[in-house]
Structure 1
């Protein structure tokens, strides 16, 4: 059986530059965890400065059947006069079986003790807490911080967790935070949480509360706003791809405004003005002929 699965990790504002450096590996990190737990499936990863979201439209409610292989000592060590040695008996104990159930196989050109067992499928729901914890701890942003009385650390304090499997809330506690079927809107809308009843319900309710979850959509909003400003004001806006990615990463609902500064500053070299605007204010330079 499959169900939609939503995982939301709510954080204080993420610093864009270290986050964007880690971004290419984030999906790989979660994919590896899914595969390790025999739960491989398609998923999407979305982010804003205040939330990391993993969305699975079709998440397995049970693990796939897994096989585990164990290789032991060479037969020259495992047997003496046809009887199992302590090394052989120790291998059988490790595998949880009697020595009579141990087979042999070839490995690295030697015949060694061998055992293979099949692990029956298990419910995926109880695994989610540990999987999410592994995901968070596996992210490397270069620097991390502690908060409160916790031993754990992350790039920014974690303030809420949401985990919904179909219409079922998945309860757990990590980093001193209890998971709930609640999320938070854009701060200009409200500071109060809102509830969602099932996994797919989250997206509509979040959008109604001023959060553009999809990074590609935020970029589209910014670029369309630039085009409108260029047409209205008769100017051209210089789009820096790295700056655009950073602005996408630090906004939940971007809005473009055009500003100005005193004309006397134009006596400075253009590179000085542009560098200051980009690095200190995250502004895009605007040019007008004449």
Structure 2
């Protein structure tokens, strides 16, 4: 059997379309599996006005089920011939009676058991309940009630289509009865479209100017842009995030190119493109020479061109750009230093203080980083970057909430206009990087250090005042901040000790802010959080198990990566596996037989293998103290036979206690050295 389901609504916000399509598909497929209804392929569709599923190859009935459940032992289930609470609880959980109990016996003893047979029901009988459950399972961050309905949904539900093998399924939801009808594009097609054959669903909709498939609609947008807007040499700038939003604003797209006054091209390009993309959902345009043109592309939700729509949108963009120019011109009259003073009145977070206080902390953190990394020749420029990094937040362009995406960028523009050093101006923008996964990373040391200082202050401050991220909520984007620090350090080869950085930052924060909880416990929480983010970043290219070995011992970000890379290369050899097994054997012996931490006594050695192992340990110890990691691992690999010979010829658990204890101390010494290096 094939099943087609569509729920029609008033226009959904673009951000809900893809997620609701995916969620509906997930909820239905999971429910079908739970109800033992087999099916073949599942295809989902969505537009602003509909969510739909096409499930092919669905079974006519549930699979039959023979279910055998084993409960508590007979001794636990009965007392004096009567069921105990444990026995009654088992029966209740199985929806069974005492008469259904069978006694089974296995190697562990006798247990009570229940066997039940469930006949398969018709799929048509079960589907309405599954649909009802799926629709009520859809989640939205904002929902509404309408008319006399009590049910909440993102937008009012207008129609339901439900066909099972081309017959209407008996299903009603919130007073709306399912039919075999759908609706075409509003104003351009019929609002009473009959679907007689499930396989024709997509083609019938397309005839009525609705492209239900997400990917086909995207291709249609790109095709329309090429044909209607790039046939004169112009090139449309298509950002993926805007394309994804626009395709969920339309059901049948048509690209139209408009123009605006050339005088606005005097503005920084990003202000123009942000105005178009963020506020109007327009695509910017470059001319044949690659320069930003005084043109834009809008995507109309219609199958045809409209001169009136073009003119109307041209009228709308002009005042937007006029506002941007006014804000920009006003900002050029104010020095960034003056803006920094204004930040004394802007609260970052009530327990963490103002943004100005955050800058002051970041300056101290930057001092620490400069000292640790020996960047004294760059100190003045780094400190200037940190000081000005947030100045544009109170500029007119950013402060009016019109162009918040330009924070950092506008700071760079204004700093360059005021004659700040190029590296300082660039660093102001770069200190926000990376802003999202896959974003570019700072190329200047000024931007890198300013960004690390800002991000670690945010992370530490949030943990200190109890704003700890959960699995579902991270309002201050602390995960992204921690990953950003790691990415910047690796990109810039900044071998920062994150453990010491966190301790220093927490100390700076506590100078004039209250920490909620014991400082040591808060520090431990931050370090564990940071360690998990570090593990996440490194495991994208390196072996996760090897990272786990090293991450508990090394806290310098660059050194940690280098050591894991060395181990990963060496781990591909047979020698490495042999060494790992030998060292695991050492660990297992010491787990069962504790050493006391006493010095190894050479005069108690009875075998040559003990002396060889002790000499090997002393050589290894010298290399460890000199921190020559590659040599340490090579010594371990090349001399694994010494450990192996020791186990082959020496009885560690000797009859004489003093001999046994001395051998355990020898192995303990070896293990401690290994723990300081590769922790296997």
TM-score normalized by structure 1?
A: 0.88
> Does the alignment pair 1:96 with 2:107?
no
Displacement of 1:16 in angstroms is 0.9
**Which structure carries more relative contact order (alpha carbon 8 Å, separation 6+)?**
1
Q: Is the 8 A contact 1:144 1:155 kept in 2?
A: yes
Structure 1 counterpart of 2:245: 246
For structure 2, the residue ranges without an aligned partner over 5 or more in a row are 292-680
**Offset at 1:145?**
1.1
Whether the 8 Å contact between 1:89 and 1:99 is mirrored in structure 2 is: no
CA distance in 2, matches of 1:8, 1:105: 52
Deviates more, 1:45-54 or 1:56-65: 56-65
State the match for 2:140 in structure 1.
141
Corresponding position: 1:164 with 2:166: no
State the secondary structure of the residue aligned to 1:285: strand
Shift of 1:75: 2.7
In structure 2, C-alpha distance between the alignment counterparts of 1:34 and 1:205, rounded to whole Å: 28
For residues 54-133 of structure 1, the aligned pairs below 5 Å read 54-81=53-80, 83-85=81-83, 87=85, 88=87, 91-92=90-91, 95-99=95-99, 101-104=101-104, 112-133=111-132
Q: CA deviation at 1:50?
A: 0.6
Q: 1:29 aligns with which of 10, 18, 27?
A: 27
Distance 1:269 1:153, change over 3 A: same
Within 2, Cα distance between the matches of 1:105 and 1:138? 43
Alpha-carbon distance in structure 2 between the residues aligned to 1:273 and 1:110: 78
In structure 2, C-alpha distance between the alignment counterparts of 1:220 and 1:128, rounded to whole Å? 34
SS at 2:32 equivalent: helix
- Aligned to 1:255, what secondary structure does the other structure show? strand
Question: Rg bigger for which structure?
Answer: 2
Deviates more, 1:259-268 or 1:156-165: 259-268
Please say which of residues 254-263 and 191-200 is displaced more in the overlay.
191-200
Distance in structure 2 (CA, Å) of the matches to 1:56 and 1:86: 47
**Structure 1 CA distance for aligned equivalents of residues 249 and 55 of structure 2:** 24
Question: Given the superposition, is the C-alpha separation of residues 21 and 190 from structure 1 closer, same or farther in structure 2, using an over 3 Å criterion?
Answer: closer
Alignment of 1:173-192 (within 5 A): 173-190=172-189, 192=191
Change (3 A) 1:111 1:285: farther
CA distance in 2, matches of 1:86, 1:21: 48
SS at match of 1:76: helix
Tell me which residue corresponds to 2:215.
216
Distance 2:193 2:229 in 1: 38
The question of whether the paired residues in 1 share the 8 Å contact of 2:9 and 2:50 is answered with yes
Indicate yes or no: 2:12 matched with 1:14: yes
Deviations 1:78-112 (A, max 9, x none): 1124x232543675475334436434478xx8965
Alpha-carbon distance, 1:250 to partner: 1.5
Q: What whole-Å deviation, never above 9, does each CA across 1:16-74 have from its counterpart, x for those lacking one?
A: 11333555544322221111111232210011111111001222111122344545444
Which has more strand, going by share of residues? 1
| 1:66/1:120 contact within 8 Å kept | yes
The farther-off stretch of 194-203 and 135-144 is 194-203
In 1, Cα distance between equivalents of 2:22 and 2:193: 31
Return the alpha-carbon distance in structure 1 between the equivalents of residues 260 and 181 of structure 2. 43
Q: Report whether the alignment pairs 1:199 with 2:198.
A: yes
Is the 8 Å Cα contact of residues 11 and 51 (structure 1) preserved in structure 2?
yes
Distance between the aligned counterparts of 1:165 and 1:45, measured in 2?
A: 16
Secondary structure at the residue paired with 1:132? Answer: helix
- Structure ranking higher in helix proportion: 2
Paired residue secondary structure (2:205):
helix
Q: Is structure 2 residue 51 aligned with structure 1 residue 52?
A: yes
Deviation, 1:140, is 1.6
- Are the aligned partners of 2:185 and 2:191 in contact in 1 as well (CA < 8 Å)? no
2:263 aligned with 1:264: yes
| Alignment size in residue pairs | 285
Contact 2:12 2:155 in 1 (8 A): yes
Q: Shift of residue 131 of structure 1?
A: 0.9
Against the structure 1 CA distance between its residues 104 and 249, is the aligned structure 2 distance closer, same or farther, given a 3 Å change threshold? farther
SS of corresponding position for 2:283: coil
Q: Name the CA shift for 1:99/1:182 in 2 (closer, same or farther; >3 Å).
A: same
Deviation at 1:256, TM superposition (A): 0.8
Deviates more, 1:7-16 or 1:37-46: 37-46
Superposition deviation, residue 185 in structure 1: 0.9
1:70–1:116 contact (8 Å) kept in structure 2: yes
1:223-272, Cα deviation, whole Å (9 max, x unpaired) = 12222345412111111111111111121101111111111221222111
